[in-house]
Structure formats: structure tokens, C-alpha cells
Structure 1
Amino acid sequence: MQVTKNEQAGRYEAHIDGELAGFAEYERSEGVVEFPHTVTEPEFGGRGVASALARTSLDEARAEGLQVIPSCSFYAGWISKHPEYADLVRS
């Protein structure tokens, strides 16, 4: 699986064997990145696509010193299961 940032589309994309497996939309403003929506294509379900998107995008947010707004229910739930990312959430 390869996760890349598609700045033109405003999303992180996960590809498996060259096919789009899923994406996580983002909206960035001064010092903050919001994740409003995540999609895993049905044929790639259960393969950790959304988790790879979350981990990659949150690691990048950390590296850039950004706070995170996890408005997507998947992101909110994923962060609650991975408390090492809780410090990124904007209070």
C-alpha cells in the first residue's frame, strides 16, 4: 500500500497495486488541518486502508506542527484508540 498526499484534490490517497483504495479529505488553514471525510473503496475493506491514511496524515501533521480537527468519525475514533496522537487534537 502506498499513501500519498494529493494537494490539488485536498486529500491523502491510498493505492494498492496501482488502484485507488481509499482517501481522506483534508482542509488546511493557519496552523490547523481538519479531516472531514474518509472513504475506503468496498473491494479494499478490511485491509487497513483507512488506518494507513490516518497514520500517514497525522504523522505529517505532527511533523509540520499542525493541530488536528478530527471531524470525520473514523478519525475521531482512530485517535481515541491511538492515544499517542491525542496531543494533536485542537482543544
Structure 2
Amino acid sequence: MTDPAGGERARSAVTVSDDPQKKRYEARIGGEVAGVAAYIRTHDMIAFIHTEVRDEYEGRGVGSSLARSALDEARAQGLRVLAVCPFFDGWMGKHPEYDDLRYVPASQVTD
């Protein structure tokens, strides 16, 4: 993919993996950690609490790759998602295909 400045954008080079020991998803480009999404997890829910992309990797799809991979994994594991992190909350707001994952407290459920 080419960016507006004519350089190559390496979205496809972003790989995301879960590091349960550190309680975060890590996005890597060329083996380097480009960004992370920290979480708290229970048996039925995952709360994303902080997302950070290193400055030199901004604009390369790192945050989106983190969100999409983490949310796809949450769906596969049957987890509800609490988007405490403003990035995750905003990203989910722009991608309604993930609305079904949102955790809604019982006090806010309406029939």
C-alpha cells in the first residue's frame, strides 16, 4: 500500500500476539514492539485499559491491527469487551461489526 507521500506503508507487516504474562497484546513490525494494548481479563470479560503506539510507528495501522486482532480473539473466546481505553472505545465506535462484543452492565440493559 502506498501512502500519500509516496512511501510504502507496511500494514501487512504488523503482527499481533497476546502476551498473557504481561497482560497485553503486542504489535510488532520487523520484530520490534511497535505498540501495545494492556488489558485486565476475567473468565468472561476483557477490559482494554491502555493502548500505546510508539511515535515512529504512528500512521502505519498499528493501533487498528491491535484492536482488530484483540477483538477477533475476544470473539473467538466468547468474551465480552469493556473498552475503558479511549482508543479502543473510539475504534469500536467506528467499527459497528464489533458492537455485539461490548460489555453492558445489567443495570443498563433495556428490553
Structure 2 length-normalised TM: 0.81
Q: Secondary structure at the match of 2:33?
A: strand
User: Which blocks of at least 5 consecutive residues in structure 2 are unaligned?
Assistant: 1-13, 105-111
| Structure of greater relative contact order (alpha carbons < 8 Å, 6+ residues apart) | 1
Report the aligned-residue RMSD: 0.5
Amino acid paired to 2:94: K
Q: 1:19 aligns with which of 9, 32, 35?
A: 32
Give the corresponding residue for 1:69: 82
What is the CA–CA distance in structure 2 between the aligned matches of 1:30 and 1:63, rounded to whole Å?
14
Displacement, 1:30? 2.4
Q: Percent identity over the alignment?
A: 51
Amino acid paired to 2:65: A
Give the corresponding residue for 1:6: 19
Displacement, 1:28? 0.3
Q: Compare CA radii of gyration and give the structure with the larger one.
A: 2
Matched, 1:42 2:55: yes
Structure 1 length-normalised TM: 0.98
Amino acid paired to 2:17: T
Runs of 4+ in 1 over 3 A off after TM superposition: none
